[in-house]
Structure 1
Amino acid sequence: MKLTEQVVRGLRVAKLFKENTDRINNVDFSPTGDALISSSEDDQIVIYDCEKGTQKRTVNSKKYGVDLVHFTHAKNTAIHASTKIDDTIRYLSLHDNKYIRYFPGHTKKVVTLSMSPIDDMFLSGSLDKTLRLWDLRSPNCQGLMHLSSRPVAAFDPEGLIFAAGVNSESVKLYDLRSFDKGPFASFRVPQEKNFEWTGLKFSPDGKTILLSTNGGVIRLVDAFHGNPTHSLTGHLNDKKLALEASFSPDSQFVFSGSTDGKVHSWNAETGQRICAYSTDHTGPVQCVQFNPKYMMMATGCSNMAFWLPSPEDCA
């Protein structure tokens, strides 16, 4: 089934989970698309089966708290940032709920975490204004970069370069093999004064960089030349939250939540808003991701919603 504007308009909440008692702060699909993991402010990690539309397991992280949970490439492991005790990143075996390794170094809250799409490397950025490169096999930081402000960062789909957004005004591209030499490209993005970048993502085809903000605008930028292509607006962010925005797997559409519990979609090529969906979300929708392999989307406030195309679009 191909994703078209008609199919996007017809997306509906097929399943709503109400297991969490507090805000879901991150969701991540497994690379194969058959599982989804979420972390939340109530210190729970919940794993869902995407094929069955069921909740598989809950793992508690009462001691350290949990944020920014991500699957690694191994089936039953994840990394996550901590919200209590310290700002160490933790590598967790999900099937027996034991920590495999700790990654200490950050001295303030970790606000960005990105797993390499091809190997065991991952990136972390913190309010301590550093960006660190890690390898799951070693507790030692593989590379350290000092920045002038809170960083946002992500790997490109090939896993060969990464982008860092600095000071909510410039995007710098680094080659992983020589990132200590500094960026090989840097471009400024004209930015409104009253909000900050809170997230950065590459489109799955690698051609576009998405910059989400704590205001009512999402910026799309050409990944090769740095030219801003579209400003996506129409969603509400009156609480200055870090609302996640995400691409569809074909890079054609962008989805975002809003502070009034709605979810919005745009055409990434034209910048036109397609739809605002009413939902069963009771609070701001801060997590929105599209499954990389299946025709489904997940959105989270303190409830988790699984979205599917309406039946007439599947006929």
Structure 2
Amino acid sequence: MDVNGNRRVFQRLRPSNDNKQQKVCFHWRAGQCNRYPCPYLHRELPPPPQSQSQPSISNGTGASKRPHGFADDQHLTRRNSKFSNSSSWGRVQGGGVGRFLHSWCTGGCFSSLTQLEGHQKVVSGIALPSGSDKLYTGSKDETVRVWDCQSGQCTGVINLGAEVDCMLSEGPWVFVGLPNVVKAWNVQTASDLSLSGPVGHVYALVVGNDLLFAGTQDGTILAWKFNAATNCFEPAASLKGHTLAVVTLVVGANRLYSGSMDHSIRVWSLETLQCLQTMTEHTSVVMSVLCWDQFLLSCSLDKTIKVWVATESGNLEVTYTHNEENGLLTLCGMHDSEAKPVLLCSCNDNSVHVYDLPSFSERGKIFAKQEVRSIQIGPGGLFFTGDGTGQVRVWQLLAQPTAAT
């Protein structure tokens, strides 16, 4: 879909129809199958929960403008909310099982439209600036590639001379985190700015309360404010508290949430820029944080996703913990065609799990050649994944799951 939802952006690559056998794969049962695709069944998954069990996302638009969140300005309300019942988290509703074939994805809830080839190393950032028909992807191969959304062709390669650590699009701006600097491009005015101040790698970027925040290798969070008169970003603040690198940032409820290699999450006031709370429940690196409705979700290399909700005192505490078999890398939220929340969760076993919320019932999985480090939501049910080989894939979330044949 294009940004208007009326035309195809990327041509659909139809999946193979060779997988028609319904026998269960003997090698998969033994944990040894390495065939792509395999002609036999590999797993059974529960169906999605019933629609009445899903809470709504009250962001007023039905879609998020943030690259890694459902809502950018929703309040994390107190526990008396009707959606804060911890017993609903992780509860699979409905009965029966569905069988799915082993391929690049399982579950039938999304389809692969195309793949974008060109990067030589891990894709560390994906940006889709508003008002543009271009997709920007950044990589550890020291380049940003620009893709035409109508043809899917690469229209430009920007050589930066340094590894891209992260990317962010906000309005017409594309921000790129590089070692010791943040690059800012305005795709409408062709402005090209360099924001100095970071020491070491810049692992995370987010915008909130008219400030651009950057999480850096030394544990500092730097903030800049745009000055329209001078057409530049001016240093505004330096937030200190983390003892190791800040690798993830998200804004919600007039708060900035930061996750770090020091295993902690810090909550900052966007008004005073003071730290309000430090959460230490994770036992390894906090890789990604995400705001959904009144909840904060976090994932870690400790193999858990934690769901946080505000108590009567205003502090956040864990209301549900979802366990995985592998370490978790990034969370991304989107809505299906019925405005139900869907969570995409990248794991370090080269897979992306797709879950319904709040039940955490699995819709399906995506399999990549290497770890998926970047996920970006697009218009009309599109989303993009970038993996360790440099491959970017374009996916379409389907209206209804399709049965395996």
Say whether the fold is shared (TM-score over 0.5): yes
Deviation, structure 1 residue 303: 0.8
More displaced stretch, 8-17 vs 224-233: 224-233
Is the aligned partner of 1:101 residue 2:193?
A: yes
Rounded to whole Å, the distance in 2 between the matches of 1:128 and 1:99 is 29
Is the aligned partner of 1:145 residue 2:232?
A: no
User: Aligned in 2, Cα 1:29/1:212: closer, same or farther, shift over 3 Å?
Assistant: farther
Rounded to whole Å, the distance in 1 between the matches of 2:160 and 2:319 is 43
Rounded to whole Å, the distance in 2 between the matches of 1:228 and 1:32 is 38
Deviation, structure 1 residue 95: 7.6
Structure ID, larger Rg: 2
- The corresponding residue for 2:115 is 16
Is the aligned partner of 1:300 residue 2:300?
A: no
User: Aligned in 2, Cα 1:145/1:209: closer, same or farther, shift over 3 Å?
Assistant: same
> RCO higher in 1 or 2 (8 Å CA, sep ≥ 6)?
2
TM-score, structure 1 as length reference = 0.77
Rounded to whole Å, the distance in 2 between the matches of 1:265 and 1:228 is 22
Decide which of 137, 160, 181 is 1:88's aligned counterpart: 181
User: Aligned in 2, Cα 1:57/1:152: closer, same or farther, shift over 3 Å?
Assistant: same
Rounded to whole Å, the distance in 2 between the matches of 1:33 and 1:243 is 28
- The corresponding residue for 1:247 is 333
User: Aligned in 2, Cα 1:261/1:136: closer, same or farther, shift over 3 Å?
Assistant: same
Rounded to whole Å, the distance in 2 between the matches of 1:43 and 1:235 is 32
Deviations 1:186-216 (A, max 9, x none): 2535223xx211222323x4x2222232343
Deviation, structure 1 residue 153: 5.0
Is the aligned partner of 1:191 residue 2:289?
A: no
Q: 1:151 is aligned with what amino acid?
A: V
Decide which of 138, 146, 152 is 1:39's aligned counterpart: 138
Rounded to whole Å, the distance in 2 between the matches of 1:65 and 1:31 is 25
> Share of identical aligned residues, percent?
12
- The corresponding residue for 1:236 is 326
Name the Cα RMSD after superposition. Answer: 3.3
Rounded to whole Å, the distance in 2 between the matches of 1:265 and 1:29 is 21
Aligned residue runs from structure 1 range 1-315, under 5 A: 5=48, 9-31=108-130, 35-50=134-149, 52=150, 54-55=152-153, 57-74=155-172, 77-83=173-179, 87-93=180-186, 100-116=192-208, 119=210, 121-137=211-227, 138-149=232-243, 150-152=245-247, 154-157=249-252, 160-165=254-259, 167-174=262-269, 176-179=270-273, 182-183=274-275, 185-186=276-277, 188-192=279-283, 195-203=284-292, 205=293, 207-222=294-309, 225-234=315-324, 236-237=326-327, 243-249=329-335, 252-277=341-366, 279=367, 281-291=368-378, 293-301=379-387, 302-310=390-398
Kept in 1, the 8 Å contact 2:109–2:364? The answer is no
- Ranges in structure 2 where 5+ consecutive residues have no aligned partner: 6-46, 52-106
Kept in 1, the 8 Å contact 2:147–2:156? The answer is no
Q: 1:220 is aligned with what amino acid?
A: V
Kept in 2, the 8 Å contact 1:201–1:211? The answer is yes
Rounded to whole Å, the distance in 2 between the matches of 1:168 and 1:300 is 25
Rounded to whole Å, the distance in 1 between the matches of 2:157 and 2:319 is 41
User: Aligned in 2, Cα 1:23/1:170: closer, same or farther, shift over 3 Å?
Assistant: closer
Deviation, structure 1 residue 32: 6.4
Deviation, structure 1 residue 39: 0.5
Deviations 1:125-161 (A, max 9, x none): 1121211111243443101112232235534357x43
Rounded to whole Å, the distance in 1 between the matches of 2:291 and 2:131 is 18
- Ranges in structure 1 where 5+ consecutive residues have no aligned partner: none
Deviation, structure 1 residue 163: 1.9
Rounded to whole Å, the distance in 1 between the matches of 2:263 and 2:242 is 10
Deviation, structure 1 residue 307: 0.9
